[in-house]
């Protein structure tokens, strides 16, 4: 930073912090739903959607009652979807893309046609890789992804049209190209910032999304079927999570202005980049690594309990007092994504010789909620969320942490595009909530009287 600018910022920072402080009690005083959350933690109802449903509680006589977690895509429980893919021994992410975009399950001919189209579109436009990725690498792949999405505007013959046909065309292109953008952004980062050899592999139209990701990021292109299956499952489980999650809501807010698709989707990428949203799985994995380093016996639940208590007391790990990977804004009794991913995590742990580590994760999952309730003085149920096991899964696949959130984006772009299309077609009204001003009136003073 320029020295003069740095000195000026140092001088003015206390003023900035003072004038931007609002007493937390003011939110209660004016009945403001901070973070668009009700007092019981549930989200404020701001819209309607037919795309996804996140269920964690029921209302009984006006009170919120906990219920088993369910995630529903276009009316179909994600558990049923996953069980169907697993029983038939096939990849499911592309079918989920079709379901979320078109609202129906495809038959074999429809799915084959859709898969072939995605395969043909995975290659980036001529010159894009060299000019937009390799010539301008970024130390953060999410930043590179957002810039790649915005750059796509310049390669589109009709970038601004919000006609339904154009929206669908742009959505399918982005869904197909996100894995390639992420993989090339990762290779550029590894080369220019990590000093590693540069590997740019061409995507293969005959491979699934999960297979292509592993093919593109690994120097030797090799992967096992079980590795691709568990990555496919992770993509399926991250593809959609209702209209209220931060990044999808960001996409809908921006889309309500009738701006172009690339502006809306890049805004969603920027939202997901935040550690409170898409980066949470890295936090969970880092915390669990820290616990492993400070607990001598991974099977000793009392030793794990003692260290988790230190974390809650802000004496260990990042001293934030949080047990990452446990608890969710909606799910209480169970997070269906975590339940499904945990099953596959156990399988991959056995394959990779990491079952001892997996059992340690299970122990933390068992002890953590009890520690939380004791420290908070509550009987509230909390469960492991999808972030608890996703970091372990990615690490077992040899995927570096800097790719965790970009892979989340590869999956969630499907939900973003589906919600953008629904927003533009259905709502046709700009999203514009209100903020109440609580500033005190001040008198203007001439310069010589200040």
Q: What is the pLDDT of residues 329-365, one digit of tens each?
A: 899 999 999 999 999 999 999 999 999 999 999 999 9
Report the pLDDT averaged over residues 410-424: 98
Q: Quick check: 153 pLDDT over 80? A: yes
Report the pLDDT averaged over residues 23-37: 93
Q: What pLDDT sits at residue 61?
A: 73
Residue 387 a catalytic site member: yes
CA distance 274 to 234: 19
Q: What pLDDT sits at residue 194?
A: 93
Q: What pLDDT sits at residue 425?
A: 96
Report the pLDDT averaged over residues 164-190: 98
Residue 328 a catalytic site member: yes
Return the structure tokens found at 192: 């220019």
pLDDT tens per residue, range 228-271: 999 999 999 999 999 999 999 999 999 999 999 999 999 999 99
CA distance 382 to 17: 34
Q: What pLDDT sits at residue 60?
A: 76
Q: Quick check: 62 pLDDT over 90? A: no
In 3D space, the residue among 324, 294, 327, 300 whose CA is nearest the CA of residue 312 turns out to be: 324
Sign of CA dihedral 211, 213, 218, 219: positive
pLDDT band at 374 (very low <50, low <70, confident <90, very high): very high
pLDDT band at 152 (very low <50, low <70, confident <90, very high): very high
Q: What pLDDT sits at residue 78?
A: 98
Report the pLDDT averaged over residues 278-282: 91
Domains of the chain plus CATH, in order, are: 78-276+401-427 (1.10.580.10), 280-396 (1.10.230.10)
Q: In this prediction, what percent of the chain has a pLDDT beyond 90?
A: 93
Q: Quick check: 63 pLDDT over 80? A: no
Q: What pLDDT sits at residue 9?
A: 96
Q: What pLDDT sits at residue 428?
A: 85
pLDDT band at 41 (very low <50, low <70, confident <90, very high): confident
Least confident range from 125-129, 199-203, 277-281, 364-368: namely 277-281
Report the pLDDT averaged over residues 297-321: 97
Q: Per the residue annotation, which of 232, 260, 335, 387 is the catalytic one?
A: 387
Q: What pLDDT sits at residue 434?
A: 94
């Amino acid at each position: 930073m320029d020295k003069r600018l740095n000195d000026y910022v140092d001088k003015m920072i206390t003023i900035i912090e003072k004038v931007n402080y609002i007493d937390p009690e003011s939110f209660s005083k004016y009945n403001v739903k901070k973070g668009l959350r009700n007092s019981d933690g549930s989200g404020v109802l701001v819209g309607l959607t037919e795309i996804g449903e996140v269920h964690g509680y029921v209302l009984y006589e006006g009170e919120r009652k906990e219920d088993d977690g369910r995630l529903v895509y276009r009316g179909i429980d994600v558990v049923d979807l996953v069980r169907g893919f697993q029983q038939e021994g096939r990849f499911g992410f592309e079918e989920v893309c079709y379901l979320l975009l078109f609202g129906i399950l495809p038959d074999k001919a429809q799915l084959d046609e859709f898969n072939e189209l995605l395969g043909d579109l995975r290659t980036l436009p001529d010159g894009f890789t060299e000019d937009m990725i390799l010539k301008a690498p970024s130390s953060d792949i999410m930043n590179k992804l957002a810039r790649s999405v915005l750059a796509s505007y310049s390669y589109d013959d009709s970038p601004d049209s919000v006609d339904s046909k154009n929206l669908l065309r742009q959505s399918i292109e982005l869904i197909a190209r996100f894995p390639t953008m992420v993989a090339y952004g990762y290779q550029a980062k590894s080369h220019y910032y990590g000093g590693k050899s540069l590997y740019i592999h061409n995507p293969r139209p005959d491979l699934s999304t999960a297979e292509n990701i592993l093919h593109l990021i690994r120097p030797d292109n090799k992967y096992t079927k079980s590795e691709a299956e568990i990555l496919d499952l992770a993509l399926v489980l991250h593809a959609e999570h209702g209209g209220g999650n931060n990044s999808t809501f960001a996409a809908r807010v921006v889309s309500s202005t009738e701006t172009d698709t690339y502006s809306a989707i890049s805004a969603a990428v920027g939202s997901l980049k935040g550690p409170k949203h898409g980066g949470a799985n890295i936090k969970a994995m880092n915390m669990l690594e820290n616990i492993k380093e400070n607990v001598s016996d991974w099977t000793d639940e009392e030793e794990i309990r003692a260290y988790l208590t230190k974390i809650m007391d802000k004496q260990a790990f990042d001293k934030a007092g949080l047990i990452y990977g446990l608890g969710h804004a909606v799910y209480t009794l169970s997070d269906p994504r975590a339940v499904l991913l945990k099953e596959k995590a156990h399988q991959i742990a056995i394959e990779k010789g990491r079952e001892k580590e997996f059992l340690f994760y299970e122990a933390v999952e068992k002890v953590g909620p009890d520690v939380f309730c004791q420290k908070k003085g509550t009987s509230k149920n909390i469960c492991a969320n999808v972030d608890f096991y996703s970091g372990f899964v990615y690490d077992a696949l040899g995927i570096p942490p800097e790719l965790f959130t970009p892979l989340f984006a590869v999956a969630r772009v499907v939900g973003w595009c589906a919600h953008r299309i629904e927003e533009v077609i259905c709502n046709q009204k700009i999203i514009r909530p209100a903020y109440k001003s609580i500033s005190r009136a001040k008198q203007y003073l001439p310069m010589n009287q200040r």
